Amino acid sequence: MDTSAPRPLPRRIAHLDMDAFFASVELLRYPQLKGLPVVIGGGRRRVDEAIRDLPRGATLADIPISAFPLLKDYAGRGVITTATYPARQFGVGSAMGLMKAAKLCPQAIILPVDFDEYRKYSRAFKQIIADIAPVMEDRGVDEVYIDFTEIPGGQREGGRSLARLIQRTIFEATGLTCSIGVAPNKLIAKMASEFEKPNGISIVHESDLATRIWPLSCRKVNGIGPKADEKLQRHGIHTVGDLAERDRDWLMSSFGRSTGAWMHEVAWGRDDRPVVTHSEPVSMSRETTFDRDLHAIRDRAELGAIFTHLCEKVAGDLERKGFVGKTIGIKLRYADFKIATRDHTMSAFSSDAKTIRRIAGQCLKRVPLERPLRLLGVRVGNLARADADGVRLMEASAKDPAPEQAVHALGDLGDSRRHGSPGSRGPGTAPLFESS
């Protein structure tokens, strides 16, 4: 009998990424578009209408290709969410403005975003994975991490055989393809899942660091975005290998203790974050970009209606998911794309639309409103489950007038502090957004 401590298995972490997820789901609905450049995005009403007015045969698959809306005819304010691989050949990609995309590929077919449909497929593929390998971390609608380490067969071929099983099962059940990277940790698995896209599997071991990770651009690291990359470039650091050459102390003094130390770990492929199977939401929000820029005074009625609607939406989300929140905030994006946020923390939890609207309205009075607005958002944070405790707290808040008084006091303070601001709007005038 072996009395020695069991040797831990080597960590095998997978990152699975659905291939062109939204576009692929649309192709299941409209198979006649296969092989054509298709973009999903905008969410513009005109595209929705064009789709609704499509001539129908017996099925969606009978709709002639010539009947679909083209990007060049429908490009407005908005961005591409996903593009099919044929569309990507033209340089069109996620987060690109529709205007720019239309220049690159005017003949692409444009479809509106249908989140409900994508969520159905999202739930389906995640359930398939969870049935095979239950240690799964949800990373959004089209991505997950999976811990293969302790799964029977998870170590075989470095994880390739289990990855193949998952890939095949998802395809057979949904018709969708995905790409999987398996590596010693999340950091490398995430990069590896991109190596063989679409429909690929990449297996990376610790010993592959120098050959497969170091040549990659720093931008490929999850957590290094445009700003950090630009700064790295200024220091002559372009690849992960360049980063690994710098010493830890230099990175810490140049990028801050925490970021610098993290960068050093990343460059050497070290990451011990666990795969987290459950997490609680921190905040819920709703925001909307207007079809045209709106002015707080001139377009007061319209803004007021949108504002109320956003508050009702967030309240509905909280209610439906069973949460209450204590911090209520607003977000504005001005026409020049600058963002302002204000929030207020109440003494009790709530998910009530009226309460949200009232507190958010107070926040709005604390932010400059003379420039044209592009976006308005409402956020509820500091969430707690609306179980017995939550309900008690809500009841307490209904009886207790104190929170409301506190808010008014704060609102007045906010206004009086800005007495310097000139005439058009000021304390004492009818509250903005209150007309709806």
Partner DNA sequence: TCTGGGGTCCTAGGACCC
Catalytic residues: 143
Shortest Å distance, C-beta 128 to DNA: 18
Q: CB of 307 within 8 A of CB of 376?
A: yes
Query: Should residue 98 be labelled a site residue for DNA when binding is judged by CB under 7 A?
Result: yes
Among the listed residues 17, 14, 367, the one whose alpha carbon sits nearest the alpha carbon of residue 161: 14
Query: Should residue 402 be labelled a site residue for DNA when binding is judged by CB under 7 A?
Result: no
Q: Which residues contact 369 (CB under 8 A, 6 or more apart)?
A: 296, 297, 425, 432
Query: Should residue 126 be labelled a site residue for DNA when binding is judged by CB under 7 A?
Result: no
- Please pick, from the candidates 32, 155, 161, 222, the single residue that binds DNA as defined by CB under 7 A: 222
- Please pick, from the candidates 8, 226, 401, 428, the single residue that binds DNA as defined by CB under 7 A: 226
Residues numbered 238 to 267 that lie near DNA (CB under 7 A) are 256, 258-259
Among the listed residues 109, 145, 147, the one whose alpha carbon sits nearest the alpha carbon of residue 10: 147
Shortest Å distance, C-beta 330 to DNA: 9
Region at 337 (left for phi over 0; alpha for psi -120 to 50; beta for the rest) = left
- Please pick, from the candidates 327, 385, 427, 436, the single residue that binds DNA as defined by CB under 7 A: 327
Instruction: Select 32 or 289, whichever has its Cβ closest to DNA.
Output: 289
Query: Should residue 365 be labelled a site residue for DNA when binding is judged by CB under 7 A?
Result: no
CA 383 to chain centre: 19
Shortest Å distance, C-beta 8 to DNA: 26
CA 156 to chain centre: 34
Token pair in block for residue 268: 């050497």
Amino acid sitting at position 221: V
Q: Which stretch binds DNA (CB under 7 A): 23-31, 47-55, 73-81, 388-396?
A: 73-81
The DSSP bridge partners found for residue 40 are: 82, 111
Among the listed residues 40, 43, 36, 22, the one whose alpha carbon sits nearest the alpha carbon of residue 65: 36
- Please pick, from the candidates 227, 234, 278, 419, the single residue that binds DNA as defined by CB under 7 A: 227
Q: How many CB atoms lie within 10 A of CB 92?
A: 26
Q: CB of 111 within 8 A of CB of 52?
A: no
Token pair in block for residue 394: 């809500």
Instruction: Select 166 or 380, whichever has its Cβ closest to DNA.
Output: 380
What gap in Å lies between CA 220 and CA 197, rounded to an integer? 14
Instruction: Select 162 or 373, whichever has its Cβ closest to DNA.
Output: 373
Query: Should residue 382 be labelled a site residue for DNA when binding is judged by CB under 7 A?
Result: yes
Query: Should residue 77 be labelled a site residue for DNA when binding is judged by CB under 7 A?
Result: yes
Query: Should residue 224 be labelled a site residue for DNA when binding is judged by CB under 7 A?
Result: yes
Query: Should residue 277 be labelled a site residue for DNA when binding is judged by CB under 7 A?
Result: no
- Please pick, from the candidates 143, 176, 187, 364, the single residue that binds DNA as defined by CB under 7 A: 143
Shortest Å distance, C-beta 75 to DNA: 8
Provide φ and ψ at 40, rounded to 5°.
-110, 135
Token pair in block for residue 3: 């009395």
Token pair in block for residue 301: 């009625």
Shortest Å distance, C-beta 5 to DNA: 33
Shortest Å distance, C-beta 74 to DNA: 12
Shortest Å distance, C-beta 139 to DNA: 5
Secondary structure of residue 7 in the 3-state scheme: coil
- Please pick, from the candidates 32, 43, 48, 235, the single residue that binds DNA as defined by CB under 7 A: 43
Q: Which residues contact 46 (CB under 8 A, 6 or more apart)?
A: 74, 76
- Please pick, from the candidates 8, 55, 140, 401, the single residue that binds DNA as defined by CB under 7 A: 140
Q: What is the DSSP string of 199-268?
A: S-EEE--GGGIIIIITTSBGGGSTT--HHHHHHHHHTT--BHHHHHHS-HHHHHHHH-HHHHHHHHHHHT
What gap in Å lies between CA 355 and CA 363, rounded to an integer? 12
Instruction: Select 135 or 346, whichever has its Cβ closest to DNA.
Output: 346
Q: Which stretch binds DNA (CB under 7 A): 180-188, 234-242, 266-274, 275-283?
A: 275-283
Instruction: Select 5 or 282, whichever has its Cβ closest to DNA.
Output: 282
Longest dimension (CA), the chain: 87
Query: Should residue 116 be labelled a site residue for DNA when binding is judged by CB under 7 A?
Result: no
Query: Should residue 91 be labelled a site residue for DNA when binding is judged by CB under 7 A?
Result: no
- Please pick, from the candidates 282, 401, 420, 428, the single residue that binds DNA as defined by CB under 7 A: 282
Shortest Å distance, C-beta 290 to DNA: 8
Token pair in block for residue 399: 């009886």
Query: Should residue 137 be labelled a site residue for DNA when binding is judged by CB under 7 A?
Result: no
Instruction: Select 320 or 399, whichever has its Cβ closest to DNA.
Output: 320
What gap in Å lies between CA 345 and CA 219, rounded to an integer? 36
The residues of the shown chain that bind DNA, judged by CB under 7 A, are 43, 76-79, 81, 94-95, 97-100, 103, 139-143, 190, 221-229, 256, 258-259, 279, 281-289, 313, 317, 326-327, 329, 337-345, 363, 366, 375, 377, 381-382, 410
